Structure 1
């Protein structure tokens, strides 16, 4: 029987331990700009997947994702030891590091929303000076037109 609540708690704890170890204990310069975003643990608590993002040194510098992945692979044993000491579970889960694609997906979604807003603004500008192609009320019937004509004829008399 899988206890999902326990797996979620363990995943949170693993993410916190790994983030703290990367920030304060591991002195690899390739890991300076790594942020741990999430962790997932399998139901049997044997395998953990840790998601991370990499930032550049500044806004103009692209992140060095390859070097960060190599640094994480090199530090995997030390990080697993830290997780084992920090969690106290019977079997320390194996760690797998996966680059988190959520920030890239969010950026793409923002770009799509900006394009949709621009298209909406263009339609609104075109609509501002537009007039109806036919009558203002296209649902007038012939009976309504006859009534209007008879009223005009009665007014003329």
Structure 2
């Protein structure tokens, strides 16, 4: 039976916490404002880390999301060095940034559910 908490998931959690602080406090790039780290997936060999990010107020367009990811990718070397100072690992994984659309998808689904509930509770004028 596999252990409940694997080493890669623990490393991912630590990296998520530290990266969130680094992005918030140490990056001055305006393209990366209000960005939070939602999840970190680390490969089994600890060679790569996929960092899923989202913005608190969402993105206006796909171009804005791409611009934010480009800013993060440009800062990946800096973030990796700072992360290596905070997290003691033999090899620090290469950082790959991805946009996490799950928050926006959740808001969209919530909106659809609210519409369906509102339509269901409307009185039927045709039957009266």
TM-score greater than 0.5 by the shorter chain: yes
User: Is the radius of gyration larger for structure 1 or structure 2?
Assistant: 1
Hey, what's the Cα distance between the residues in 2 that align with 1:98 and 1:11?
Answer: 15
Q: Which residue of 2 aligns with 1:30?
A: 31
Higher helix share: 1
- Give the count of matched residue pairs: 123
- Structure 2 spans left out of the alignment, 5+ residues: none
Hey, what's the Cα distance between the residues in 1 that align with 2:77 and 2:9?
Answer: 22
Runs of 4+ in 1 over 4 A off after TM superposition: none
Contact 2:43 / 2:49 at 8 angstroms: preserved in 1? yes
Q: 2:124 aligned to 119, 123, 126, which one?
A: 126
Does residue 15 of structure 1 match 2:7? no
TM-score for the superposition, normalised by structure 2: 0.81
Q: Which residue of 2 aligns with 1:145?
A: none
**Which structure has the higher relative contact order (CA within 8 Å, separation 6+)?**
2
Contact 1:7 / 1:43 at 8 angstroms: preserved in 2? yes
Contact 1:54 / 1:68 at 8 angstroms: preserved in 2? no
TM-score for the superposition, normalised by structure 1: 0.68
C-alpha root-mean-square deviation of aligned residues, in Å?
A: 2.5
For the residue of structure 2 that corresponds to 1:10, the secondary structure is helix
Contact 1:46 / 1:94 at 8 angstroms: preserved in 2? yes
- Structure 1 spans left out of the alignment, 5+ residues: 131-157
